[in-house]
Structure 1
Amino acid sequence: MRNVAAARYTRRMLLIAAVYVAGIVLASMVIDPGAPLGLLGIGLALIPGAAMLAAIGAIGRFVAELPDEYLRMLEVRKIIVATGVTLAITSVWGLLELYSDSLPRLPVFYVFPIWCAGLFVGQLVNRFAFGGDDTGGCP
């Protein structure tokens, strides 16, 4: 059986990922890191930011569109695990930064990629800790 929600999600995320990558590349080519950020720079920097917001919205929409409550539960569990992983990493690293001058700073830019990696951890938790089989086409 084909999961229509997963197919829609995949199409949305492919478009969002393309906008995100294009925004990062364009901003990196145009914006001079040493110069003050003008209106053009702000606008270009907001393109990948808007794509991140769209990705979060697409994930929420995917969960809402899933017709199967078991698959929906697996996705929600992945999101909860990803949020916990992100909070743990950023909070612990932030405390280490607070009390050490020798550690490199973690740019806020990395919070969303850490959360996305946490979705993978959540999928592993579903599969191995709870025996969940998310073969319904879920991302």
Structure 2
Amino acid sequence: MRRYVRRFVPITFVYMASIALATFIIADNAPATALTIGLALLPGLAVLGWLWAMARLLVELDNEYLRMLEVRKMLVATSLTLAITSVWGLLELYSPEIPPMPVFYVFPIWCVGLAIGQLVNRFGFGDAGDCG
């Protein structure tokens, strides 16, 4: 877990700094230039870093039970994300009044799903483990 946290925390700072930088430099409705695309991709690289850190956690966890708890959290998160985005997409398709959901929200929805998965582990199965 310490290796995971040592990976996750710096990636979080990179994400926050790159979001702040892009927000500060890129004007609303700016044209797609090399600069705007590059700045917009920086937070995406941090998201890839988070996913890599989570994958490494699964590989490095020696305790199979703790690994199962982490996998269950990710399954809950993935199921919730697929359900929300699929239903919202169908609403968009068949109800023109429904505003489109920006794709940006897919990963934050998944992260909320991780928290819900943690609650499922704790209250549905009686154990959330020590993996956060």
TM-score with structure 2 length normalisation?
0.96
Shift of 1:35: 2.4
Equivalent AA in structure 2 for residue 79 of structure 1: M
Q: Is the 8 A contact 2:118 2:128 kept in 1?
A: no
The CA deviation string for residues 32-51 of structure 1, in whole angstroms up to 9 with x for no partner, is 22221100111111100000
1:13 lines up with 2:8 in the alignment? yes
2:27 to 24, 29, 32: 32
Equivalent AA in structure 1 for residue 8 of structure 2: M
In structure 1, distance between residues paired with 2:119 and 2:8: 21
Structure 1: which 4+ aligned runs deviate by more than 2 Å? Answer: none
Q: Structure 1 residues 123, 133: closer, same or farther in 2, change over 3 A?
A: closer
The total of aligned residue pairs comes to 132
Counterpart residue number, 1:3: none
1:86 lines up with 2:81 in the alignment? yes
Equivalent AA in structure 1 for residue 124 of structure 2: A
In structure 2, distance between residues paired with 1:133 and 1:118: 14
2:117 to 111, 117, 122: 122
CA RMSD of aligned residues (A): 1.0
Q: What percent identity do the matched residue pairs reach?
A: 60
Q: How does 1:50-69 map to 2 (within 5 A)?
A: 50-69=45-64
Select the structure with the greater relative contact order (CA < 8 A; seq sep ≥ 6).
1
Counterpart residue number, 1:98: 93
The CA deviation string for residues 76-108 of structure 1, in whole angstroms up to 9 with x for no partner, is 010111000000000001111111121221100
In structure 1, distance between residues paired with 2:103 and 2:57: 26
TM-score with structure 1 length normalisation?
0.91
Counterpart residue number, 1:49: 44
Gaps of 5+ in 2: none
